[in-house]
Amino acid sequence: MPSWAAALAILMQGNSPEAIQILLEEVQFSWHETLGVPPNADAGTVRSAMARLARAYHPTRGATQAQMARINAAYAHAQTEPGT
C-alpha cells in the first residue's frame, strides 16, 4: 500500500474498517485530476491548487472529511511522485 494511502487511513481513524476500505478503493485517482492541474504542473501551481481546494472543501465550510482527505492525499502524492 502506498504511504499516502496509509496516511489517509490514519486520518480516517474514526470510521469503520468498511468505510476506510471504500475510501481506499476510491483513492484510485490521478492526483492532478483531483487538484485540477495538468500532470506536468510545477510545484507552485500544485501548491496554489491545494490552497484553493483546502479553502473551498474544508470541513468547517460544510465539506466532508472524506473530501478533504482526498485533496490531502492528492497533494501528498503530487509531492512524492510528481508527473505521475
For 7, the grid coordinates are 496516511
Domain that holds residue 37: 3-80
Query: According to the model, what pLDDT value does residue 39 have?
Result: 87
Across the chain, which has 84 residues, the per-10-residue mean pLDDT values are: 62 61 59 88 92 90 85 87 61
Total domains present in the chain: 1
Q: What is the 3-state secondary structure (H, E, C) of the chain?
A: CCHHHHHHHHHCCCCCHHHHHHHHHHCCCCHHHHHCCCCCCCHHHHHHHHHHHHHHCCHHHCCCHHHHHHHHHHHHHHHHCCCC
Query: According to the model, what pLDDT value does residue 50 have?
Result: 93
The CATH number linked to 67 is 1.10.287
